Homo-oligomer: A and B are copies of this chain.
Amino acid sequence: ARCGFGEVIYGPGKSADLVARLIETQLEAGQDSLVTRIDPQTAVAATHRFTHARHNPVARTLRVSSAPIVSGLQPSPNGLHVAVVTAGSTDAPVAEEAIETIEWMGVPVSRFDDIGVAGPQRLIAAVPKLREASAVVVVAGMEGALPSVVAGHLAVPIFAVPTSVGYGASLGGLTPLLGMLSACAANVAVVNIDAGFKGGYLAGMVVSQLRQVTPDTCQAS
């Protein structure tokens, strides 16, 4: 049987009270909670009610668990994991939303920042470590060329997340979105603009399935 993940709570328009109540229901059902796009006040108010909570204001996420929440552990070498890549530093909030989602799924994640195509040496240097991941989330705005370039170097599913970073002809993220969909590389799938949550969720699913069928991996990480 496949082991699923609890439903993610979409924060906008929900009061701190409502958010807290939804979290409690999930905790009682034995599930860890993830709230996305939560504003700082609501997050802080909700945080106070729980023993084990983690609010990431850059990612605009809130996680609550019945056990302590550990974050930022690098995956063991060759351990099954997701890589999250950003083209520029302005793409960080979307990448962090992806990372919080992947960690909430219990999947290890490695991170590669600011390796956009304008500085090609940084990307080339990262390729060997990128090749160790079983699924990659690539977050990029402006022309959104990075997923195509990364996909040319790897042989695993790439989940491309276009961001609304940029101006003029980048049309609030539509241009990188359309570009990523037109990528000539075959292994690029695309999610909505700024949808770090979705990119992380899909990559996390891929690795989570791998970990379930791997005899000695689940215990290892």
Contacts and interface: CB of A to CB of B under 8 A. Distances in A.
A56 interface: no
A86 interface: no
A177 to B, nearest CB: 7
Interface stretch (A25-33, A62-70, A209-217): A209-217
Contacts of A164: 168
A179 interface: yes
Identical subunits present: 8
Interface in A29-60: none
Nearest to A87: B184
A221 interface: no
A142 interface: yes
Nearest to A122: B152
A124 interface: yes
9 contacts: A118-B152, A120-B149, A143-B144, A156-B205, A167-B193, A168-B195, A169-B192, A170-B182, A189-B191
